[in-house]
Chain A
């Protein structure tokens, strides 16, 4: 398994601002993922972040709104840009490990946009 930490754990932000969320893993991993969990809903994949290449975004998510960095094999950031109240969600990073790509999740960042 992996130990994954995220910063910040929660934040309250004003409309129109941006927030960068950090994800740190205790071991080197190739694949990292960013998910969003809107209130009362399940998780939706935002993008896959592989080190050394551009992030791959899922339908409905664009780089201008959710830029991602992956500078090395243990760290990634997700920025939520030009925020609106609709961006209020829990944002989670995950990694895939092992022969069967079992995914492990960080504790999440709870974002509230006023």
Chain B
């Protein structure tokens, strides 16, 4: 069964700093990988989707990379802002459309 791990579990940075969130998965036979953010008590917002054939995907200040062979993905956030404070979830999708979620990284950006 696919297992997804995210490190660190929590991260606190000063505003303006660049940061990297890590995601690893055990089975490289994935269809795609998605990064989400979840604000407290709310649903999930899709940030980026990387297809299994892609190496990276960018959206604004966010850049996600994928190394399928090593079972790793990173989410890079440039010039962090207090509004970026949230929990970031990584999820890998198998061919059955099932998303396997990591445990998340809780990010706090300090003004």
Q: How far is the CA of A45 from the CA of B99 in the complex (A)?
A: 7
Residue of B nearest to A99 (CB): B51
Q: A42-B103, A101-B32 are in contact. Are A107 and B43 (CB under 8 A)?
A: yes
Q: Are B46 and A107 in contact (CB under 8 A)?
A: no
Q: CB-defined interface of A26-59 with B at 8 Å, one 1/0 digit per residue?
A: 0000010100000001111100100000000010
CB contacts (< 8 Å) of B46 on chain A: these are 1, 102-105
CB contacts (< 8 Å) of B97 on chain A: these are 31, 33, 48, 96, 101
Q: What is the size category of the interface that chain A forms with chain B?
A: 20 to 34
Q: How far is the CA of A84 from the CA of B71 in the complex (A)?
A: 38
Q: How far is the CA of A102 from the CA of B3 in the complex (A)?
A: 20
Q: Are A42 and B104 in contact (CB under 8 A)?
A: yes
Q: Does A92 contact B (CB under 8 A)?
A: yes
Q: Does B25 contact A (CB under 8 A)?
A: no
CB contacts (< 8 Å) of A107 on chain B: these are 42-43
26 A–B contacts, CB within 8 A, in A order: A31-B97, A33-B99, A42-B89, A42-B102, A42-B103, A42-B104, A43-B89, A43-B91, A43-B99, A45-B99, A48-B97, A58-B98, A92-B43, A92-B44, A100-B49, A100-B51, A101-B93, A102-B34, A102-B46, A102-B49, A103-B34, A103-B91, A103-B93, A105-B46, A107-B43, A108-B41
| A interface residues, Cβ below 8 angstroms from B | 1, 4, 31, 33, 41-45, 48, 58, 92, 94, 96, 100-108, 110
| B interface residues, Cβ below 8 angstroms from A | 31-32, 34, 36, 41-46, 49, 51, 89, 91, 93, 97-99, 101-104
